[in-house]
Structures are given as structure tokens and as C-alpha cells.
Structure 1
Amino acid sequence: MSGTSTDPGVAMSTMPNDTNATLPSGDGMPRSTPTDPHPPVSIPMAVLDPSTVVYEHPHAKAPVLTGKLALSAVVYAMRYTPGVARYIWADGGMFALRDADLPEDATHLPLVPPTSAQEAVANANPVNVGDFLRVTPPPHAGTASAFRFPTIRDFYETYRSGATTPAAVIDAVLTSIADTQRATDVHPDMKTFVVIDEAHARAQAAASSARWTTGTPISILDGVPIAIKDEMDVAGLRAAMYGTEFLNEGKGASPVDSECVARLRECGAIVVGKTSMAELGIETLGANPNPRTGVSCNPYNPDRHTGGSSGGSAAASRAGSCRSLSAPTGGGSVRIPGRVLWSFVSGGV
């Protein structure tokens, strides 16, 4: 596989056809790979020759199907016939990353080494987030601002002042979620959550309230309600189904948290449930044909949808049910619904 990487720190380049070519290793030293069936797909910037960078459009193999009968037959075979799904996935290149040799760690930003002057300033003036919050007034301080959504900063300030407790906040959050999930004369079922962890959320809130009462919060996230997109596992809740009716069906509750969920819990965040998403995260309009999940509604116009794939997360946030969410994105799954609902505009189905 070759092409141009979206990572500014790593360029993609075609590899020489010579099987005895010398290629860079992860430590920057050349290495000979006379029999390596999977040569590196990226070259470290330090040894990259820009003149060799060529984009090659990959040609994925996939069956061309038309008509309900053909589609139904293949879907049935993929679901119930061992090996069929894996064969089609492999033929389409879905496992290419598993065989890729990446000599450098992935990075989302250009790697700019800090100067000695920057390091000296950083070492002489350490500031942690807690200190920053204690000395920096919120941006709305002293203003008669109109309605706005609470932020993590707001939770931190109110818990610290004793104005409210995580237990009271979770009560309000769970009530709000129940309201949005119930069709009324004003709005339909907003279809924001696929599962609620009410009992565990209340237990987490009680523990967090006790910590704030004794002045021993774990972090600024302690007691902050957070929802998890149904693309990650949450211990005690059904395994992630990725917006489908069939993936992980029948597997029951996940025994462990996904790593990012576990890290949030370690900071004291309260997981309230899992939000809905477009099937497999590949539908940017957020129109999910899965009847178990449905299409999340735009809180500003319930006749419209949210965009996707993180439709349930966006709807829950803008409805005020749960302002903090964890939702993976690959190519716009967070940005699209975030922008759609932030601008109060959404396209119709």
C-alpha cells in the first residue's frame, strides 16, 4: 500500500522493486529485507527522498451486488457461513494495517523538537490544570450571559464550592435522558442512548460526592457525567455493536472497559451510558436504518437528523442531557454532527 499520509510527520512512498533493497528501520538504521513480504509502508522523514513520493490509488476488491436477493444472500452468508466474511474483508484490504511495517510511531501533529529556551521556561514554571482553574476566572464571569450549556469547568467550580454534588447532577442527568428518550407532544423519542447504566452511575456519583465532601477529588473530572459512543466497550454493559443489529450480538455484557473508558473512570468521570451511532460509523448523514438504534433527532428541530456517525452523542450534548462524551472519529464522525448541531442547521432525510 502506498500513497500520501494525512500525518504531517510521516510521508508515504513507493518501495523499490528490488527485493534486496535497503530500507530504514524503526531506529533510523538501514536494514536489508531480502525476504520481507511486507516492506514498510512509510519512510521516516529523516531519510525520505521527496522525489520518490508517488500517490498510488488503491484498488480494493469487493463483490458488485444489485438487487435485494443478491444482497440478502451475501449478508446471510457473511453472518452464518464461517470464513466468508473474513474472505471478503481480506479481499477488500481491511486487514492491510495488520501486516504493515510502520517504522515510526503514529503521530497526529508535526514533531517539532522544543528549543532549550522553551524547555527552561517549562521546567521553571510548571502549571497543572487544577492550578489553572483555581486562578483563572471563567470566560463568563461577571457577565449577565444568556442560557449556555454547563462545561466541565462549571462542574468543577460548583462541586468545589459545595453548591451541588455529583449525586444531584446525576439525578438530573438521568431524568433528562429519560425525558429525551420518551416521545411527547413536543418532540419524538430523540434516540440518543442505546443503553443507560443507571444503577452504576448512581453508585459512582455517591462515591464522587463523598470525595468532594472530604476535599479529596481525584481530578477535575471527578463527578463529571460522560457518555460513551457505542463503538467502545463499557464494563457491565452490552458489548459494542457499532450501530448494528448483529456485531457482538448475544455476547452479553463486556467484562472490561475500553482503555479510554478505563482512563476516564480513573479520573473520577461518571459513565452514564452508551450513545447511538450510524451503522459501522460510515454514514455521515446519521440516517441509521437499524431499527434497534434508529435515527437520532436534532434537538433544535426534531424533524431533522443530526449528521453522523456520532449522532446520538451530538444529540445528547445539544439536548443538554450529557455534555461530555467520548466518541471516536475516522473522517468526520465527530466534526460533522458537532458542526450540524452547533450551527442549529441540519439537512433533512
Structure 2
Amino acid sequence: MSERIHLSKAEVTEVEEQFVLAALRSGWIAPLGPDVEAFEAEIADRVGVKHAVALASGTAALHLALLELGAGPGTCVVLPSMTFAASANAVVYTGAEPVFVDSRPSDGNVDPVLLLQAVDELRDEGRTVAAVMAVDLFGRAADYEAIEPALANRGIALIEDAAEALGARRGGKPAGSFGRCAALSFNGNKIMTTSGGGMLLGDDGPLIEHARTLATQAREPVPWYEHKEIGYNYRMSNILAALGRGQLRRLDHMIGRRRAIRQLYREGLGNLAGVRFLGDGADADACDNCWLTCVTVDRESYDLTADRLVASLNCHDVEVRHLWKPMHLQPVFGGARSFVTGASERLFSTGVTLPSGANLRDDQIARVIDLFQSALAR
């Protein structure tokens, strides 16, 4: 039986083990503790913002961000259609209506022109747009030069869903530093992990501090348990934060390895007619963290759908996945308002993500390339 090649498996070393062991021995087993506080400060420093609150998931971060910005019944939130479901689910948690916008064909990120068109059309209809959420798709920051000032002129808050993009940059600014606030994810397959976890961060101190209160069951600072608001059990545990602190020490190394893996894919697949790396041909202001390497296959060059390509490689124990299925095509959001051009649907039907984990060896990448080429040849 061949060795299975995973898409993006977590890499844990003695560095992380030492941090977690120290946390265990400290006695801080319950949620919160000194590692949580240190982790928040270290991530905020890395991203270049003033405040951060460590949470149970990136979804929790988005939910709290939306609540802080007034999302709720009678409002809508505009966001990309091509994203993981958590982005849209967080909108629904608040009672707001998600409105989906299609992608740029070049990198899959939200189309800024269509995004602003959607905002203006909704407002002309008398709708209240509580916020716009941009998603940094597969580790590449969205076009914030086009989005951020235009929304500021319209008086609409921007949330950056940077769940996939820690370590990426755009125009010299780190992902996670755009908008009114930003969300990170440390899920097990992300660029770095705390097993499960996330973070809400930004320069707006009152916003982050109120989110911190809501994340701790909205407990008031009195000697007994008193609550004036509905809160949530959203805080990160001290042990998971310790794991994150160890991972953060090696983040640059892990990003460097993923970039090297992408280069191997470029050398092996980049000259094939009809094969394109997602992000090629997009603006040069974005510097990816290379969380996942994504390619599309031209249907006119190969009679091969993403479905068949995924099935072909997975039957050889190579974990290849589809790109995110657009939210406006998801059954649960079948009746949602959408502004679409067909770009994300085409990307979904022709694109796949390739194994990209930092612990993959060169010979494993070579095997993926050989199997990919064989699938195209068939």
C-alpha cells in the first residue's frame, strides 16, 4: 500500500511539545491563562495591530466581529461567494442576511467592482448594509487597495476574514491588519495550528475588548456571576495557546517550505498547456503565504473535470480537493441574494487544491506531479 499524501497536515516538533508541556506543568489547564495572554500579544505584534483576543475558532471571531459592527435582523452583510461555509454561517448566526458576490477569475478573491456594485444597489433599495466581509482566499489577500477606501467613503465597515492568510502580505501590509477588524483561524490544517482555535484582532480597542467580554459569557467584573448581555463560550484554552506559541516560532520556516513546494509544482506543471496556478495573472501587490497551491485545468485543453481529477489522484492515496464550492450554489443558501458573473462556478468546476503541507518531502511532491500529469494524459 502506498503512503498517503495529505493535503495540509499539521507539523508539530519538539518546540511545540516544550511549550505545551510547560503549560501543563504550570497548572493552567482551564481556559485562559498566561499563554493565552502571551499568544494574543505575539500574534498582534506579528500582524502589526494593537489588540487581539484568542478564541475557540475563526468562526467565533467572525461572529463576534459581526455582532460588534451591528449585524442582526433587518440588516445584510455582503461577502464573497467563493469561501468556506464558516464565513457565511457567522452572518446567519447574527440574524443578518448574507449577500454573495462573485470572484475575480485571476485569483478567486472577491471581485471589487462587483462588490461595490452590490453595496450600492442594496443601499439604493433602502437596505442596511451592516458590514462587508472580504476573504483572503487560500492564503492570498484580497484587493484591499480597491475595497478599503471605497467602503470608507461609503461609511461601511470592513471585516477581513484572514483565516487562511496569516503570514501573507499585500502592499507591504500583513494579512490581518486590514479593515475595522480581522479574523484568523488556527484550525488543524491551517498555515499554523492550535489544534482548533482562532483570533479576532485590530486597532479598535473598545471593539476588541467588548468582543473579549462577550467571548467569556459576558460576565461582569464583579465578585459574583452577573450578566447584562448574552455571551458565548468562545475563549481559547491555555494549553492550545501554548501550542500556538510554539507554532508561531516556526511560522516563517513553515511558510518558506510551502513556498518551496509551490515552486516544485511550478517546475513540474507550469509548462503544461491549459494548466494555470490560481493567482497567476493577478496583481503583483499580494505576497501569498502559499497555504494551499491551487491549479485550474482548461476544459478546452483536457476533457477532465475537477471531479475526475480529484477522484483520480485520491484513488492513488493523494489527497486532492476541490476549490471551495461557491456559497450561492450551496443548497442551504439556495435562496440567498447573489451578484454573480459565473467566475466562481467556473473555478469550482475546473480547479483543485494540491497537497501543500510543510512536512511533505520533495519525493512526495514529485509523486503528486507524476500522477497529475498521468491524469491529464489519460
**TM over 0.5, shorter chain:** no
The TM-score with structure 2 as length reference comes to: 0.23
Q: Is the helix fraction higher in 1 or 2?
A: 2
Q: Is the strand fraction higher in 1 or 2?
A: 2
The TM-score with structure 1 as length reference comes to: 0.24
Larger radius of gyration: 1
Instruction: Name the structure, 1 or 2, with higher relative contact order (CA <8 Å, separation 6+).
Output: 2
